[in-house]
């Protein structure tokens, strides 16, 4: 069986043809990545991809979407597209479809990929628990969060959440300064404002203000680049602070969900900063939960390195929904 697998975030929409073998094994074609800002709607992006594929596509589609997926109209959290599920068959010319939250799809991938698709970040260096609860989260344009429960018989359940929108809890004076800057624009500051790709700009500006440095407002990508290549010590400090905050949030999510069988960091940004995560304060902040520090230190924390977990997971979700 073939289907179109789509992973739609705030910045990019990724498309691939997924092939599902008789034994359930999923393989993906080379993905096509389109910029959401270059297309007026998902339908026009779909038509662009269809043209790139020679004008025809399989009559099945599975969409992983950055945002809540219920209701008659699905609105994306970080881009202006909308999808009306009742019109999917008509607008896209498909017979069957599946729509899941993007991190719900990633959790499907976590449940199904091989152990060699993970690298160890912190905690005991052992595989993720084969049964029980796991937490899955990752920074991109926003912050995605999902929950995975593994049964003893090898089956599993996935729940989408909007955990990226819980309140940001500062832990020191630098966090206080970041919060103060964000409070000038947002009545309520969620963790997504601090632990998502664009947040590096606010972190950088907050650090600059603390040191009395006049720095220009600039694109977050430039700050990430300088912070990673070591050419700007302030940008490097901002990246380390981002990693610390990600550790704090990952620990909070594990506590809230009971993800004591393991925590998985996902997303393209997480993969790009994997070496920095290992050297940063991520691990210390993850474990720093007061009376629960010993519990937190017992949780294996991994980074999924599958190149397209959203696309893979969207295909897996389709197979579950259309056996």
CA distance 153 to 43: 40
The binding site comprises 6-11
- Residue 242, classified by CB atoms within 10 Å of its CB into exposed (0-12), middle (13-18) or buried (19+), is buried
174 phi and psi angles, rounded to 5 deg: -70, -45
Strand partners, 5: 16, 62
The binding site for ATP comprises 6-11
What is the number of other CB atoms lying within 10 angstroms of the CB of residue 262?
26
b/e burial code for range 291-304 (CB count within 10 A of at least 16 → b): eeeeebeebbbbbb
Query: Token match 């029980």: residue?
Result: 132
52 phi and psi angles, rounded to 5 deg: -65, -25
DSSP assignment string, 80-137:
S-EE-GGGHHHHHT-SEEEEEEHHHHHHHHHHHS-GGGEEEEESSSSPPPSSEEEEEE
């Amino acid at each position: 069986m073939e289907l179109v697998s789509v992973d739609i975030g705030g910045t990019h929409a990724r498309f691939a043809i997924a092939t599902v073998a008789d034994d359930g094994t999923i393989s993906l074609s080379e993905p096509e990545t389109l910029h959401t800002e270059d297309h007026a709607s998902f339908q026009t992006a779909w038509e662009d991809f269809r043209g790139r594929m020679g004008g025809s596509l399989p009559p099945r589609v599975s969409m992983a979407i950055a945002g809540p997926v219920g209701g008659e109209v699905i609105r994306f959290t970080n881009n202006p597209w909308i999808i009306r599920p009742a019109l999917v068959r008509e607008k896209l010319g498909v017979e069957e479809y599946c729509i899941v939250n993007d991190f719900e799809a990633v959790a499907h991938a976590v449940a199904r990929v091989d152990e060699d698709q993970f690298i160890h970040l912190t905690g005991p260096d052992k595989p993720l628990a084969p049964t029980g609860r796991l937490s899955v989260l990752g920074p991109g344009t926003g912050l995605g969060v999902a929950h995975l429960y593994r049964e003893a018989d090898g089956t599993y359940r996935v729940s989408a959440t909007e955990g990226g929108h819980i309140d940001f809890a500062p832990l020191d004076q630098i966090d206080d300064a970041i919060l103060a800057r964000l409070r000038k624009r947002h009545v309520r500051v969620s963790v997504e404002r601090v632990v998502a790709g664009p947040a590096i700009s606010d972190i950088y500006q907050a650090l600059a203000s603390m040191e009395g440095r006049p720095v220009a407002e600039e694109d977050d990508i430039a700050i990430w680049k300088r912070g990673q290549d070591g050419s700007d010590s302030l940008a490097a400090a901002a990246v380390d602070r981002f990693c610390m905050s990600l550790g704090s949030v990952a620990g909070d999510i594990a506590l809230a969900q009971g993800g004591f069988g393991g925590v998985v960091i996902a997303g393209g940004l997480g993969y790009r900063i994997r070496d920095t995560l290992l050297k940063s304060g991520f691990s210390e902040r993850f474990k720093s939960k007061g009376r629960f520090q010993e519990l937190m230190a017992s949780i294996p924390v991994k980074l999924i390195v599958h190149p397209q977990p959203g696309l893979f997971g969207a295909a897996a979700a389709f197979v579950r929904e259309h056996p």
